[in-house]
Chain A
Amino acid sequence: MTGAAWTWTAFFALLLLMGARAWVVETSTGRAEGRGTGRQKALTASVAGTLAVLIVLAVFNGGATLVSMLLNGGQVPADTTAVTDAGGAVPAAPAAPDN
């Protein structure tokens, strides 16, 4: 799998874990807010771990390049390649509707 695919996978895994955690939190009964069960704590840790993995993947799959470009006035790093070739055409900016 490519880095992009891994990033998407981590993102959807995170969504699943957040959903599972929401299920556990909302269906738990008789517990004070903020003091979760063991399952809730385990899921919270899993969410945090997956989030960390997602952030790392995002950094290595474009995040670092984007930050570098933002810091350097849009200068594309030399070792960067586009996923697809835009053909050199300049895409149009979103148009103002009542101009």
Chain B
Amino acid sequence: MTSTDTRQPGDGRDGQDVPGRERDPIDPPTQVIPVVPPTGHPDGHDDGETQYYSVPDARHGESATTAVRGVDPPTQMLHAEGRPPVPAQASGPRGPSSPRPADTEPVSRLWIWLSPALALLAVALLPVAAATTNLDELGGWGLAQVLGIAGWLALACAVGACVAELWSPRPRVPMLGTATGILILCSTGMPSVVMPEARFTTAWLISGFVDAISNGNGVPPQGVDARFYWPAFFAQWAFFRDAAGVTQLDVVLRWFPPAVVAVWAIGVYALAKSMLGGHRAPWVAAWLFVGLNWIEQDYFSPQATGIVLLLTVLTFALGPLATRRTDPLGASHWPSGTATKLPLWRRWTVAAMTPPNRPTLPPRQLLLIYFCASLCLLAIAPAHQLTPFAIIGQLAVLAVVGRFRGRGLVLVAILAVAVYVLIAGRDFWLTQLSLITGSGEDDGALQSGVADRLAGDTGQIAVKLMRILVPGLTWLLAIVGAWVYWKRRRDLVPIALAAVPMAFAAVQSYGGELFLRIVLYGLPILTILGADALRSFARKNRGREKILAVGMLLTFCSVIVIRGGNDAYMNVTAEDIAITRDVYATTPPGSKIMPISSVGPYGLTGIGKYDRGGNIDGKNCPALAADPIPCINLEYPDVILAYKSMELEGVVLNGKQPGWTLDVIRQAVASGKYTLTYQNGFDAVLRKNAAGPQ
């Protein structure tokens, strides 16, 4: 009987030090046996990875899981057949804590100071980047078009700091962590650095949702937005806002993306540490994740928090709870074993009914992990619509193949979502079921997610094509990584985990955002597999690491281009915010306040108190910009808001003539129905004349 993967790689414990537990006669304890690697590593690096060797247990005549540290090759599952013999010095004096000769050699000053110097330079360049970026020149290419040279240099220095520390003979974890944080600040966080206010219409709208719950004493308004049926995130921030005694979250909105991506990167690092082992590969996986994450779901939003919870549960499942099911049918060595194979259906049936082995953690630690994982799963259910299904799918895959202890977590997640949707979301599915099943009239997700978005000027088209290309390349790299992983561990579960979110494609009516989610939920695993592929690539020839460093720089430059591609109309200015707050403060509740188009911070407050329009049956006026003057006549809002971002949206995305918003304002005023009460450039406020058309 072979028991494998029943412990955390490299935790250095033999299972006998677990208080309150006797040695399990079925699952022999793991042993830590340091060995000298059978062959030298081609690149001379010691990743300190953990290997698992199945060594015979004389007492039971079985194989026990054995973790072997301090060897160069990547983590491998080696079976009894054809494995290298465990050297006689396995229990010798060179244990995991014994330094190798290379560990005692002094590191040159270049390696000591290069990474910190580059990191400091990157940080120092950021204020220069903010000062030299002219946001008034934003166009179809977005942020990349206007970002000052200092911004690009800061990004290059941040990449250099990461690479320099990774190439160091003894990479320091605190320095790698610091360099990663600065890399995130210079890439994901670049808009937060150079823009004085948070960009992104939806972030401001969600800020408005928080405001509505805060002003409603914790009660969400009814019949306003489907997202209020999953109000946990809004309620959480309303609580924080009230506890802090503030009335707005503008600063939180601005810095939320880099902060939450840093947390995601920690999750990816922890996952990669469990899946790949080593000292360097997990960092590469985290950087790959940051560099390929163009999806921009990291704005102030429920899904951003949901992914933190998802990664937490996944890290538990693939880390401390990771195990493998003992196969009682003797087929554990498939496909290379000599045991006679039984029919596949029988192996699967017996395997499904056999509980996974117990990880060698103290029972109370296991129970604490179950408790924390359950809390995360319970917290996801009322926070977001799609994230719970992603983690349920991934946990279900892991449970079916017996890769984690605690299959009850799948039941907890399913029941939490089912009960929440049935009871708390009753009004939603009674009135909005077509959002899930589709009304038969909506375009499919493929149409709305890909084809409909290929619009705009040259910059817009180019950026959107890059958005299609990058996920394709990510998947290609991950498939190569899956092949590498398969060759080493005979394991296809990771690629299956990445593919699980594709089941969301069944919800065709969800719209274009669905494809963003499919990519995002699979991205952590895809990037870990990608890191494995890159590691394999680099190990064949050390010189290839230079190519990878250049590739990393290009990837991070491309993420600035792709993420910032919509910044012409996602940019929000302090003036936009000020005039919007002033309008809500000076307009009676119940009035209809509408923006010309659905960009800008028009929803930052007043949700549920003011009419947002767009509800006239049978009329195609989802926004006034659809057909401005007829829609204005039809909706006849009390206040019309105009921002520069609306003007740019029309020009770079919808092919309208420059100055189109000024034409709309002029015609509205000329009709006698509206008075221009504020104007500064493209920012304007139109108020309905009290006496009607004049």
**CB-nearest residue of chain A relative to B453?**
A99
Write out the residue numbers on chain B whose beta carbons fall within 8 Å of the beta carbon of A66: 422, 429
For residues 1 through 44 of chain A, which have their beta carbon under 8 Å from a beta carbon of chain B? Answer: 4, 7-8, 11, 14-15, 18-19, 21-23, 26-27, 29-30, 32-34
Write out the residue numbers on chain B whose beta carbons fall within 8 Å of the beta carbon of A85: 222-223
Partner of B430, one of A15, A27, A82, A99: A82
Interface of B is mostly: helix
User: With A22-B406, A33-B355, A62-B422 as given contacts, are A92 and B226 in contact (CB-CB < 8 Å)?
Assistant: yes
Partner of B415, one of A14, A29, A61: A14
Q: In the assembled complex, how far is the CB of residue A2 from the closest CB belonging to chain B, in whole angstroms? A: 10
Q: In the assembled complex, how far is the CB of residue A37 from the closest CB belonging to chain B, in whole angstroms? A: 14
Q: Does B343 contact A (CB under 8 A)?
A: no
* Interface range on chain B (Cβ under 8 Å from partner): 35 or more
Q: In the assembled complex, how far is the CB of residue B140 from the closest CB belonging to chain A, in whole angstroms? A: 14
Contact A96 B511 (CB under 8 A): yes
Contact A87 B222 (CB under 8 A): yes
Contact B434 A92 (CB under 8 A): no
Q: Does B544 contact A (CB under 8 A)?
A: no
Write out the residue numbers on chain B whose beta carbons fall within 8 Å of the beta carbon of A93: 226, 435, 510-511
Contact B412 A18 (CB under 8 A): yes
Q: Please report the C-alpha to C-alpha distance between residue A98 and residue B371 in the assembled complex, in whole angstroms.
A: 37
Q: Does B545 contact A (CB under 8 A)?
A: no
Q: Please report the C-alpha to C-alpha distance between residue A26 and residue B21 in the assembled complex, in whole angstroms.
A: 10
Contact B367 A91 (CB under 8 A): no
Q: Please report the C-alpha to C-alpha distance between residue A83 and residue B406 in the assembled complex, in whole angstroms.
A: 36
Highest count of chain B CB atoms <10 Å: which of A11, A21, A27, A94: A94
Partner of A82, one of B431, B437, B511, B512: B431
Q: Please report the C-alpha to C-alpha distance between residue A93 and residue B622 in the assembled complex, in whole angstroms.
A: 12
Q: Please report the C-alpha to C-alpha distance between residue A21 and residue B433 in the assembled complex, in whole angstroms.
A: 37
User: With A22-B370, A29-B21, A54-B415 as given contacts, are A95 and B422 in contact (CB-CB < 8 Å)?
Assistant: no
Partner of B202, one of A73, A74, A91, A95: A95
**CB-nearest residue of chain A relative to B612?**
A92
Q: Does B656 contact A (CB under 8 A)?
A: no
Contact B419 A8 (CB under 8 A): yes
Q: In the assembled complex, how far is the CB of residue A20 from the closest CB belonging to chain B, in whole angstroms? A: 11
Q: Does B44 contact A (CB under 8 A)?
A: no
Contact A90 B355 (CB under 8 A): no
Partner of A22, one of B22, B408, B431, B448: B408
Nearest 9 A-B pairs (CB), nearest first?
A87-B223, A89-B223, A91-B226, A86-B223, A26-B363, A62-B422, A96-B513, A74-B433, A27-B363
Q: Can you list 11 pairs linking A and B with CB atoms under 8 Å apart?
A: A4-B423, A7-B422, A11-B415, A18-B408, A33-B357, A58-B422, A82-B427, A83-B426, A86-B431, A87-B222, A97-B297
Residues of B within 8 A of A (CB): 20-22, 24-27, 200-202, 205, 222-229, 296-297, 299, 354-355, 357-358, 363, 366-367, 370-371, 374, 385, 406, 408, 411-412, 415-416, 418-419, 422-423, 426-435, 437, 439, 448, 453, 510-513, 516, 565-566, 570, 598, 615
